[in-house]
């Protein structure tokens, strides 16, 4: 049995002889109430799969397992008000927004973690340091800003902003690790950028692949190596044209205009940009992506005794 993994939705088409028109989108009940016709007939979406093949898939089939992706594609391509989409898209997007809002609310309400006070702004973080006579948060901020400095191009005063660039906010998100180390992460306000005409998603290794790999390792008494790629997204160039005004976290450069050149956390395309960059790097190292799971990479190798074997790398965003 063949199982394909969706990469992105790249096109759409409508068979006007089958799809219902605007005049046919409503059903009228006996008491005069109107209800939308719940049908997607006549519509197909062109899908790019992870194996780089493409095919046309009926809307009714694709929306069952990829509702959010299909909804966002419809909005980005101006077809969300078509009868085949309008009757279900609003509910899907509202549910998505409720989930995002709930996550944001939990973060804003959280005041302590592991008994340590959690700041929400740079000013508050430095005030906590002052009150406690420590420099934990200041060091966390300085470490993060040193790491992300490569992502920015600072414009000289009076230099015009390039045409086509959109302004977005930047802010720090604070956290405490299990060893009580303070952590700061600079995040871009990607929610304010224009929605791309094609929605691209970054895949991750499947649980089944991880289980198989662990079983192979156990059966052959193999060691498993694991690593986290620090500030992974910054290795990739951003696909979006955005700029920001440097905040207090930038120190003496506060107030300067910065062009964002690297895939910062928070931007819509950053996950996909990093995934593409890592894939290109692994290809350079002569690894091949598995047809069964695109996030399982392998390459043939030879032991010192002449025995042939395969090296495997499993990728989950920035964990390998």
Across all residues in the chain, what is the average pLDDT? 87
What is the predicted pLDDT for the residue at 136? 95
110 with 85: CB under 8 angstroms? no
Give the alpha-carbon dihedral of 249, 145, 268, 244, to 10 degrees. Answer: 40
What is the predicted pLDDT for the residue at 198? 53
Helix, strand, coil in percent for the chain, rounding step 5: 35, 25, 40
State pLDDT tens for residues 254-274.
Answer: 999 999 999 998 888 888 889
Res 103 pLDDT > 70: no
Banded pLDDT at 2 (limits 50, 70, 90): very low
What is the predicted pLDDT for the residue at 133? 94
State pLDDT tens for residues 34-82.
Answer: 888 899 999 999 988 867 788 899 999 888 878 888 888 888 888 989 9
Q: What percent of the chain has pLDDT over 70?
A: 92
Q: Where are the alpha helices (DSSP H) in 28-77?
A: 59-65, 67-76
Overall average pLDDT of the 165-192 stretch:
90
Q: Residue ranges per domain, the chain?
A: 6-102, 110-314
Q: Any residues with CB less than 8 A from the CB of 81 and at least 6 apart, and which?
A: none
State pLDDT tens for residues 142-152.
Answer: 999 999 999 99
CB atoms within 10 A of CB 19: 18
């Amino acid at each position: 049995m063949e199982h394909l993994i969706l990469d992105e939705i790249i096109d759409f088409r409508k068979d006007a002889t089958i799809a219902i028109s605007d005049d046919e989108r409503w059903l009228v009940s006996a008491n005069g109430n109107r209800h939308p016709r719940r049908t997607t007939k006549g519509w197909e979406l062109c899908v790019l799969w992870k194996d780089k093949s493409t095919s046309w898939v009926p809307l009714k089939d694709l929306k069952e397992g990829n509702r959010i992706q299909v909804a966002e594609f419809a909005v980005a391509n101006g077809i969300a008000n078509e009868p085949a989409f309008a009757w279900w898209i609003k509910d899907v997007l509202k549910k998505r927004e409720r989930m995002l809002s709930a996550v944001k609310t939990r973060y804003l309400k959280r005041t302590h973690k592991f008994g340590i006070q959690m700041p929400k702004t740079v000013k508050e973080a430095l005030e906590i340091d002052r009150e406690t006579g420590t420099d934990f948060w200041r060091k966390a901020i300085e470490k993060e800003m040193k790491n992300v400095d490569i992502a920015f191009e600072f414009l000289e005063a009076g230099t015009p902003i390039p045409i086509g660039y959109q302004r977005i906010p930047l802010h720090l998100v604070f956290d405490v690790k299990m060893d009580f180390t303070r952590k700061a992460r600079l995040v871009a306000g990607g929610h304010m950028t224009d929605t791309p005409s094609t929605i691209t998603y970054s895949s991750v290794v499947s649980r089944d692949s991880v289980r198989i790999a662990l079983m192979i390792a156990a059966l052959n008494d193999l060691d498993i190596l694991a690593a986290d790629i620090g500030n992974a997204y910054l290795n990739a160039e951003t696909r979006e044209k955005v700029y920001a005004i440097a905040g207090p976290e930038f120190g003496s450069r506060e107030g300067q205009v910065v062009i964002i050149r690297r895939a910062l956390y928070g931007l819509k395309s950053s996950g996909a940009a990093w995934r593409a960059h890592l894939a290109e790097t692994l290809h350079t190292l002569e690894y091949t992506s598995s047809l069964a799971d695109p996030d399982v990479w392998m390459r043939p190798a030879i032991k010192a005794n002449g025995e042939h074997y395969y090296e495997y790398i499993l990728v989950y965003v920035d964990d390998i």
